[in-house]
Structure 1
Amino acid sequence: MKYIFTFILLGCNLIYTAAQSQQYLGSKTLYKPLQEIYTKVPAGYKPVFLNHLGRHGARNLTKDVARSLAWSLVFKADSAKGLNQRGQQLKAALVLLQKVELKHLESISEIGKQELMAIGERAYQKAPLFFAQNQTVLVSTTSKERTKQSAMAFLEGISTVTQQKMASIKWNEKDDINLRFFDLSKPYLSFKATGPWHSSYDQLAKALKLEALSNCFFNTFFQADYAKRINSKDKIRFTDDLYGFYSIIPAIHQEILDNGLSDKDIDLKAFFKSEYLAILCELNDADNFLKKGPGTNNNGIQVNVAAPLLADFINTTDAFLKAKPYSSVLRFGHAETLAPFAAILNLNGASTATKDIRTFNRLWKAQNIIPFSANIQMLVYKNPVKDGYLVKFLLNEKETGIRGLNTKTFPYYPYKEVRAFYLKKLKSLGLDLNSNMEEFLNHIK
């Protein structure tokens, strides 16, 4: 596919400033860099290569509102005169949300585009050489359109600051083994559906009294006699659906305005008590932590499934050191890509497991690890006089260390030692840099 860049001069800043005051968004938190001023690079070293993984930008809903259980329950109750006044208000809000979202499903939003453009601009500012005209950049995406849109926005950000004078782009538009491994591995899909993580989640849900919360929340919208006819499981699903709709609203601010509406017209936050949102966000984070992050075992299948991407990071870095085919490698995937990759890298703050699920949020926070447009950058530095390279990892643009690997020049690590550390991890899984990763995904335990 050949892409044509369209450059638009934005007359206003579309970042939803009111969203900054919104809380309890978890993995749907709008992106902001976690660090702006960086540790001085060791004397004589210059950045020469960027290895990058990003999550797609802030997005619209991925599923039709009208196909949700919440929609079905609300409209069935309406037909049976089972909604109270608050339920009628909810129905009206859902109708407007459906109107806004139906033509944008699965796409990044305007705010998501701006997030990625800004990250691209900052990547260029860190090291213009990564994207210089005489260089070639490899851009990899998954088969999902929102990752391609995110890549385009990132590149548009760079092209804007370089006045369209930038590197040649080589595209890999369906790098699913490296970026969508979580959908290609049958053993992982089985783990996701029926794995032992469920018992930990259920333990936390019980401790946080999810069933009682959902019952109380559900009852605020329905006539009492009608509410009694709905089982607890469906009330929980109803509550989860509405929390999902609530958490997407900040990301689609511009799309709401484009429909002649205001944020007050779809103010789903007004239906929730703050303590309900806190609990639902914690449970949503726990779900991500257990299925995509370190969970109760940081050597579990939910982490090791990212091994193909780990090998790809090493292979592409080695290729640069040997022949320099690309000045940077840019990948755009999903939260399910980034969370296990941060864990398998042993990045501080993103790779610590716990046997007590009630303490997980002291160790792992979705808003800091997998917000919209989350990213991991490995920057490679070279000293022309000295032999060897240094690397530095950024998690959402914050310098971070590698748990289990020491360095005298934190946050800069000798690449030789980083490479050996990760090769040992791959070897423990029966892998090397040339292993058949598709076969690995089909037999992972």
Structure 2
Amino acid sequence: MIAKAIFSVALFTVVATSAKAQECTTDFLGTKTLYSAPLADNVKIPDGYKPVFVNYVGRHGARHLTKSPQAAYIYRLIAKADSANALTTLGQQLKKMVGVLDKVEKGNTKSISVEGATELMGIAGRLYKNNPSVFTGRPKVTVAVTKEIRTRQSADAFLKGLKPLLSNSEIIGTGINDTTLRFYDLSPAYLEFEEKGSWKKVLADLKSYLSIPELNERIAARFFTADYVKNLSADNKDVFVSDLFGFATIVYSLEQEIKQAGYRRQDVSFQSFFTCDELATLSRIDVAEDFFKKGPGTDINGIQVKIAAPLLVDFIQTTDNYIADKKISANLRFSHAETISPLAALLNLNTTANMGTYLQLINKNWQSGKVIPLSANIQWILYRNNAGKYLLRCLLNEKDPSIPGLKPAYTNFYEWKDVKAYYIKRLKAIGANPKSNMLSYLKEVK
């Protein structure tokens, strides 16, 4: 522990004097932004109504890396440069820092972190607190996840926060449902768009506009000798900087794990290798890629939005099912950023449906840290009065968004029949039939 403390002080001193990133905001985190609990819910429920049903879909909680640091290009490049005596003093510090992160991440990759579990337990507790009547009696709750372990862990954490609040409940399965939750993996047209879509040129233009090649050159020169940098291709430098930025964003999710491994936050302060302007610039690239690949992009009816149709259909159908038979009190789904972002755009929530060119939109009209932070979620809360009328409240990250073109019956509350008609019209506009086989739709959608 003494050696670790000495290393921590030395590392912090060297890095802090090399770049002034310690005072930067965390706006650069993008999709790695930690979930922010909203203020107390003071929205007035219309007289005579009470919540009776919940439709929920959420992104997994704050997580570890999806692959070990040793599997990243940056690790191999540093090791190779070290063997060639081509690391600068700062390069040696980076090597030590990557080694610390590797120890922190050992056995944890692909999993949610302690922070992630805490986020989800908090969301579950607020869901119950704000809608206790949904969970009276013996509520039946369905749970769906994807094939990724972090979504099952997220479901477990959520239920850990919810179940102690329930006097008696029935949890129905924790099944994998990739059709409605990993639709982006099942659509050939989307996979082709991801690989060859026009967004790639837009992103390349943005990188040129932001002088990313020069930025990569400047950053690489901090860690490697001049001769070594000359032998690195532009792509090598780009991947190196991308990996370094990725490490800088992930460590905010790992506070407890860093402590448990016997280190301090300074020991993995990768953000300190950048200036604030550099962090902001690299973040703009990340946000742009999310916007064009997962969000509204330049076409609100584009393939990157159309693919969310199966999940919207599921929300409509399960809400109707509750109204018809009252069997299921809550549907809980745990998924990914690639699930939440296109659904938010398809639902026209706030500015998630805004389109524009990269010069107009980046971090202005659409911010990934606000739309799809870690543990991002969309909730439909159904309310009923004694006359059998239904209202719906739609929440994005536990806040009330505006829905352009849908008129509320009361502030933040919509007639269910109006919501249903609005979204069926939306589905038809993108060529989806709410009564069709959604797996077939994914295979056929263009």
Q: Deviations over 1:175-194 (max 9, x none)?
A: 10000111111211110111
Q: Partner of 2:121 in structure 1? A: 117
Q: Partner of 2:275 in structure 1? A: 273
Taking the TM superposition and a 5 Å limit, the aligned residue runs for 1:224-263 are 224-263=226-265
Distance 1:356 1:372, change over 3 A: closer
Determine helix, strand or coil for the equivalent of 1:394: strand
Q: Partner of 1:10 in structure 2? A: none
2:295 to 290, 293, 296: 293
User: Does the CA-based 8 Å contact 2:409-2:415 persist in structure 1?
Assistant: no
1:42 to 25, 43, 46: 46
Determine helix, strand or coil for the equivalent of 1:391: strand
Taking the TM superposition and a 5 Å limit, the aligned residue runs for 1:126-205 are 126-162=130-166, 165-205=167-207
| Residues in 1 aligned to 2:312 and 2:27: alpha-carbon distance in whole angstroms | 33
| Residues in 2 aligned to 1:125 and 1:378: alpha-carbon distance in whole angstroms | 16
Taking the TM superposition and a 5 Å limit, the aligned residue runs for 1:18-417 are 22-162=26-166, 165-385=167-387, 387-417=388-418
Distance 1:400 1:147, change over 3 A: same
Q: Partner of 1:6 in structure 2? A: none
TM-score scaled by structure 2?
0.92
Amino acid of the structure 2 residue aligned with 1:429: I
Distance 1:59 1:93, change over 3 A: same
| Residues in 1 aligned to 2:136 and 2:63: alpha-carbon distance in whole angstroms | 30
Amino acid of the structure 1 residue aligned with 2:391: L
Determine helix, strand or coil for the equivalent of 1:254: helix
Determine helix, strand or coil for the equivalent of 1:350: helix
User: Does the CA-based 8 Å contact 2:287-2:362 persist in structure 1?
Assistant: no
| Residues in 1 aligned to 2:306 and 2:153: alpha-carbon distance in whole angstroms | 28
Q: Deviations over 1:67-113 (max 9, x none)?
A: 11111111111111111110010011111111111200100000100
Out of 151-160 and 275-284, give the one that drifted further: 151-160
Give the drift of 1:427: 1.9
Distance 1:166 1:369, change over 3 A: farther
| Residues in 2 aligned to 1:410 and 1:296: alpha-carbon distance in whole angstroms | 31
User: Does the CA-based 8 Å contact 2:41-2:130 persist in structure 1?
Assistant: no
Q: Deviations over 1:223-250 (max 9, x none)?
A: 0011100011111111111111110101
| Residues in 2 aligned to 1:246 and 1:33: alpha-carbon distance in whole angstroms | 23
User: Does the CA-based 8 Å contact 1:28-1:372 persist in structure 2?
Assistant: yes
Q: Partner of 1:430 in structure 2? A: 431
Distance 1:311 1:196, change over 3 A: same
Determine helix, strand or coil for the equivalent of 1:171: strand
| Residues in 1 aligned to 2:399 and 2:221: alpha-carbon distance in whole angstroms | 43
User: Does the CA-based 8 Å contact 1:407-1:413 persist in structure 2?
Assistant: yes
| Residues in 2 aligned to 1:221 and 1:102: alpha-carbon distance in whole angstroms | 25
Q: How well do the aligned residues superpose, as a CA RMSD in angstroms?
A: 1.6
Q: Deviations over 1:274-323 (max 9, x none)?
A: 11101111111111011000011111000010000000000000000000
Q: Deviations over 1:309-361 (max 9, x none)?
A: 00000000000000012101111000000000000011112111113444232
Determine helix, strand or coil for the equivalent of 2:353: coil
Give the drift of 1:431: 2.7
User: Does the CA-based 8 Å contact 1:19-1:250 persist in structure 2?
Assistant: no
| Residues in 1 aligned to 2:381 and 2:371: alpha-carbon distance in whole angstroms | 18
Give the drift of 1:21: 5.7
| Residues in 2 aligned to 1:413 and 1:20: alpha-carbon distance in whole angstroms | 41
Q: Partner of 1:9 in structure 2? A: none
| Residues in 2 aligned to 1:87 and 1:19: alpha-carbon distance in whole angstroms | 22
User: Does the CA-based 8 Å contact 1:60-1:109 persist in structure 2?
Assistant: yes
Amino acid of the structure 1 residue aligned with 2:77: L
Amino acid of the structure 1 residue aligned with 2:442: L
Q: Deviations over 1:365-416 (max 9, x none)?
A: 111110000111111111112x431101111111112122222422111110
User: Does the CA-based 8 Å contact 2:31-2:368 persist in structure 1?
Assistant: yes
| Residues in 2 aligned to 1:95 and 1:339: alpha-carbon distance in whole angstroms | 34
Give the drift of 1:19: 12
Distance 1:181 1:40, change over 3 A: same
Distance 1:388 1:432, change over 3 A: farther
Give the drift of 1:36: 2.5
Amino acid of the structure 2 residue aligned with 1:215: E
Q: Which runs of 5+ in 1 are unaligned?
A: 1-17
| Residues in 2 aligned to 1:136 and 1:349: alpha-carbon distance in whole angstroms | 34
| Residues in 2 aligned to 1:189 and 1:393: alpha-carbon distance in whole angstroms | 30
Amino acid of the structure 1 residue aligned with 2:297: G
| Residues in 2 aligned to 1:108 and 1:258: alpha-carbon distance in whole angstroms | 15
| Residues in 2 aligned to 1:353 and 1:418: alpha-carbon distance in whole angstroms | 23
Amino acid of the structure 1 residue aligned with 2:54: L
| Residues in 1 aligned to 2:283 and 2:258: alpha-carbon distance in whole angstroms | 23
Out of 349-358 and 137-146, give the one that drifted further: 349-358
How many residues are aligned here? 425
Give the drift of 1:155: 1.0
Determine helix, strand or coil for the equivalent of 2:362: helix
User: Does the CA-based 8 Å contact 2:57-2:334 persist in structure 1?
Assistant: yes
TM-score scaled by structure 1?
0.92
Give the drift of 1:22: 3.5
Q: Partner of 1:420 in structure 2? A: 421
Determine helix, strand or coil for the equivalent of 1:299: coil
